[in-house]
Structure formats: structure tokens, C-alpha cells
């Protein structure tokens, strides 16, 4: 949902300056209105970066690419004032998410990530 906010990553959140831990619960997003809204927002952001990024994303969606469990930059956005906060990923749908893959994709940019 946060990825739908325009220019979200430019916003500063002073209220999260004492964040010690963050639990990210992954829930499947089934096809429907919300899924299409998120895809549209991703396309808009990609188009703002470059035509190449935009067409790459369109091609990926046509190939039935799944939306990423956590859009780029969201975890860092939440930890922007508390970069040492511990992040834990959880899900009640382990058959839909590969937590190891999620952790690996975010760990390069964000240290202190854990799985539950």
C-alpha cells in the first residue's frame, strides 16, 4: 500500500526516529483492483525513471511476473531515522513467499534483517 503514495521515498518521518524493530508481515495480493492499482503505480514510477525501465516492466507483467513482496525502498523508508532497527519478515502463507529470497533481496541495502 505504501508504494502507491506518490514520491513516498522523498517524505521524512520524524516520528519513527526511535524505532528499535520492525516486523514486516507478508500477505498475498491476489489479482484484482488493488493488484492493478499497484501495477499502475509501479509503471508510473518506472516511466518517470526512463522509457527503458517502463518497457522492461511492461514486458515483465505480460510474462506474468509476480509483484515483488516488498517494493524497492519501502523497508529503508520506514527505517530512515532508525537505520539500526532490526527488521523481521513473517508470513502465514509460506507456500506463497520465499522468505529467504525476500531477506536476500533486502539485506544488501538493509542490514539487520531477520526471518520468522
Tens digit of pLDDT per residue, the chain (116 long)? 676 666 777 777 777 777 888 888 887 766 666 677 778 888 888 888 889 888 888 887 777 666 667 777 788 888 888 888 888 888 888 887 777 777 666 554 454 444 44
pLDDT reported for residue 30: 66
59 and 34 share one domain: yes
Residue 93: strand, helix, or coil? coil
36 and 74 share one domain: no
pLDDT reported for residue 3: 64
Residue ranges making up the domain that contains 44: 29-65
* Residue from 82, 87, 111, 109 nearest 13 by CA: 82
Phi then psi for residue 24, to 5 deg, are -105, 110
pLDDT reported for residue 7: 72
Please tell me the total count of domains within the chain.
Answer: 2
97 and 111 share one domain: yes
pLDDT reported for residue 105: 62
CA pair distance 111, 11, nearest whole angstrom: 21
Amino acid at each position: 500500500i505504501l508504494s502507491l503514495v506518490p514520491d513516498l521515498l522523498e517524505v521524512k518521518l520524524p516520528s519513527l526516529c526511535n524505532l528499535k524493530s520492525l516486523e514486516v508481515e507478508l500477505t498475498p495480493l491476489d489479482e484484482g483492483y488493488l493488484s492493478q492499482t499497484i501495477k499502475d503505480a509501479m509503471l508510473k514510477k518506472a516511466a518517470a525513471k526512463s522509457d527503458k525501465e517502463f518497457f522492461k516492466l511492461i514486458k515483465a507483467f505480460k510474462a506474468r511476473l509476480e509483484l515483488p513482496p516488498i517494493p524497492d525502498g519501502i523497508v529503508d523508508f520506514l527505517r530512515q531515522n532508525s537505520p539500526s532497527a532490526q527488521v523481521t519478515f513473517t508470513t502465514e502463507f509460506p507456500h506463497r513467499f520465499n522468505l529467504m529470497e525476500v531477506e536476500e533481496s533486502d539485506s544488501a541495502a538493509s542490514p539487520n534483517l531477520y526471518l520468522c
